[in-house]
Chains A and B, each alone.
Chain A
């Protein structure tokens, strides 16, 4: 299926100010490698969709901004000449056409002979496993089917990049998981340059070769999913991705002292006043008495494979602990805690 010739994309100094004066995007520089899947992640209004629309050619960057495809300036080229495939949150399928006509529309525009269109549409229907829907009208399709048709339609024209704008947001959770896996497999097999916009961090982690976390029209961090999760560069990124625990205290002689007790941490920087760590880097010890860190269970939720504990340690927020210990926890119980120093972050 590697009949697609992927391209690199670069944004130079791209800002966007809307007519009413709203600054949707601060000047942004970004380069995306050919064949890479990059996810724009952030809360609504962070500028991720605006960035995608600038790349697509649906929005023009403010003066001075440049969009480069394979090094070539395409800023002034309208979307219909950019040869990018696009998948919209609302699918944007044409209600006046059947599934097959929708998928073949881009090819028809390119004046490809109808026999070839038929073959290509057949391929696409097969790839998305929707052969039997070929002659249906769009209003006879379920949400998941529509999403598959939208993907097939975008890929059918062999675009040089695939742009996906929150493609799974309108679907229910279970279907989202299924389609996320399908999209991942699809992007890997096509080796196409893909940009995926989402506000769902699980989607971003699963799909992205790299994630661009955005906040208030700015890039907060760019990195591989693992780096974003384990080495967030700002508090915003730390809080937006996954769950983060915090402890306030002070370091003295390699010991971080907080309300919960003392944490032995050989590499502790002397000026650390707050440490952050993920729920999987803290565990409940066997005995509360023997532990230097202690807390009280505020709530315990048994989730089957693990128990999620909320442990009160005198901070503003209780600590979240994911425990795989095979025992019951009761409200108000005193527990000892141990933190893996390798998981500790300071921001």
Chain B
């Protein structure tokens, strides 16, 4: 009896916390689908606001997707070799580099953005290009790629695996392709999802780096909430939600730690 009461209390509390977190999301989504938010759901459901977002902010969606994919390519090209070198060379210098790489995450995005503007703001072609935002995003997301690949590489005794492959005749490139890359696939995948998600949702830095012609989705979202009807802002949130949710779910699925099970000696004749 006592146990059951305790269970119900816990269940109730959990549901309450869930409601606290989920209700605003649902309300916001509903606001984006309601004809008139002030009147409420009785005014009817509509896709009109979503269409208006599509018509007015389509460009920001494509720019965000484009930047996040370009950012992914950059972090893959820069991050995997970096993690590989850091894993191979265990020295005080490599540890220091590893720590320095995390700086853009520790420093507020606004500060990084200001530093970029102060340094490169004069290069007008660069300043007004989407590449300017990409640079900021790469700075911010690179540590996440490096860290997640490095974590996997550190767990697999990379040096010995490579020596094993070399003893079988594999050149450096074959070893990298056949042994290093496949064995850090989990880290690359987790890092990639993280990079795309972070780049897609990045606001702090992008807000300073953007120009009227290089607005990303989160910047557009802030813009919509600040200057347009609440319904349009909410519909915009819904679009963002639909784009980011699959990424987050995939991240969750691939970030499961691999469990090494013990295999007993059944063959000791």
The residues of A with any CB-CB pair to B shorter than 8 Å are 56, 58, 78-81, 83-86, 88, 90, 92-96, 105-106, 109-110, 139-145, 153-154, 157, 163, 172, 174-175, 178
Contacts and interface: CB of A to CB of B under 8 A. Distances in A.
A110 B171 CA distance: 11
Nearest to B258: A139
19 contacts: A78-B166, A80-B169, A80-B170, A80-B171, A84-B167, A85-B167, A86-B163, A90-B157, A92-B157, A93-B164, A94-B161, A95-B156, A96-B182, A142-B265, A144-B267, A144-B268, A153-B168, A154-B167, A178-B268
Contacts of B266: 142
Contacts of B183: 94-96
B174 interface: yes
Given A109-B174, A110-B169, A178-B269, A79 B163 contact: yes
B52 interface: no
B93 interface: no
Contact of A88 (B160, B264, B268): B160
Given A58-B163, A58-B166, A79-B163, 14 more contacts: A85-B167, A86-B163, A92-B160, A93-B164, A94-B164, A96-B182, A96-B185, A105-B165, A106-B169, A110-B169, A144-B267, A145-B263, A145-B267, A175-B265
B178 interface: yes
Interface of B: 156-157, 160-161, 163-171, 174, 178-179, 182-183, 185, 260-261, 263-269
A105 B268 contact: no
B268 A140 contact: no
A140 B263 contact: yes
Nearest to A79: B166
A144 B169 CA distance: 25
B267 A86 contact: no
Contacts of B157: 90, 92
Nearest to A141: B263
Contacts of B178: 94, 105
A157 B166 CA distance: 13
B98 to A, nearest CB: 21
